[in-house]
Amino acid sequence: MSEATPRVAVVTGAARGIGAATAKRLAADGFAVAVLDLDEATTKDTVQEIEAAGGRALGVGADVSDAEQVQAAVDRIAAELGAPVVLVNNAGVTRDNMLFKMTEVDWDMVMNVHLRGSFLMTRACQKYMVDGKWGRVVNLSSVSALGNRGQANYATAKAGLQGFTKTLAIELGKFGVTANAIAPGFIQTEMTKATAERMGVPFEDFVKAAASQIPVARVGQPEDIAHLVSFFVSEGAGFVSGQVVYAAGGPRA
């Protein structure tokens, strides 16, 4: 990889949280980064921070669950930044509720963003990886994949992403493409803030209570996950594929 032609990475849901930290980390690692989120305007801060640090970034608006928008976004990334050969499927939503109160709309929404979204984005980008005989896919799963009260939809989607990851590893391996999943525990972002609000607990107390249950005695930060993404997409990680790493500050969720 020469400095003049950096490899291109796409990070979905990169306006904030884990996605924003990952986009910034991959830019610092030398990738040109497509900062993709629902609304292009919300990607501005991440793009500006990358550019201010001397990196290259492109803000792209798209709903990952919409096939046409995904194709248009990937076409634009390929035209304006270059062939997308690293994909981080990070965009996510929660619509928590106990099973007996869960609506079909909330079930479908969570499936669509996590599963359909990762499928559509990966299908659109894999062509560039296969053509170039090199690629990296990282999918954001969760400790919730092991089961979590009030998250039948989210747990199902996050477990599904693990099967998706392993299948990508099998299908795409011979083209120099690896696929891995990261299953974070509690990470301090807007997503966990929204959970605290829904439960009526001040976020600070929620974070303290979570940290008290975690062996490393703190909650995770977006940069903790970005660091692991950085490893998975690195040149040297080419023999690591189809794996799920639980990044939760300890051995158990």
Burial 10-42 (b: 16+ CB within 10 A, else e): bbbbbbbbbbbbbbbbbbebebbbbbbbbebeb
In whole angstroms, give the CA distance from residue 91 to residue 66: 13
Nearer to ligand NAP (CB atom), residue 8 or residue 91? 91
Please choose, from the candidates 77, 24, 22, the residue with its C-alpha nearest in 3D space to the C-alpha of residue 49: 24
The answer to whether 191 contacts ligand NAP (rule: CB under 6 A) is yes
Comparing CA positions, the residue from 170, 178, 176 lying closest to residue 137 is 178
> How many Å apart are CA 172 and CA 131, to the nearest integer?
11
- Is there binding between residue 249 and ligand NAP (CB under 6 A)? no
The region of 27-35, 36-44, 118-126, 130-138 touching ligand NAP under the rule CB under 6 A is 36-44
From 47-55, 95-103, 129-137, 184-192, give the range in contact with ligand NAP by CB under 6 A: 184-192
Residue 231 has a CB neighbour count (10 Å cut-off) of 14
User: Is residue 252 classed as helix, strand or coil in its secondary structure?
Assistant: coil
Instruction: Report the residue number, 153 or 192, with the smaller CB distance to ligand NAP.
Output: 192
Q: Of the candidates 7, 11, 19, 159, which one interacts with ligand NAP according to CB under 6 A? A: 19
Q: Does 16 bind ligand NAP (CB under 6 A)?
A: yes
Residue 246 known to be catalytic: no
Q: Which is nearer to ligand NAP, 133 or 208 (CB)?
A: 208
Compute the distance between CA of residue 128 and CA of residue 125 in angstroms, rounded to an integer. 6
Q: How far apart are CA 5 and CA 66, in angstroms?
A: 30
With binding defined as CB under 6 A, does residue 72 bind ligand NAP? no
Indicate the residue among 6 and 138 with the shorter CB distance to ligand NAP: 138
Contact status: 70 vs ligand NAP (CB under 6 A): no
Residues with a catalytic annotation lie at 154
- The residue ranges that bind ligand NAP (CB under 6 A) are 12-13, 15-19, 37-39, 42, 63-65, 90-93, 113, 117, 140, 142, 184, 186-187, 189-192
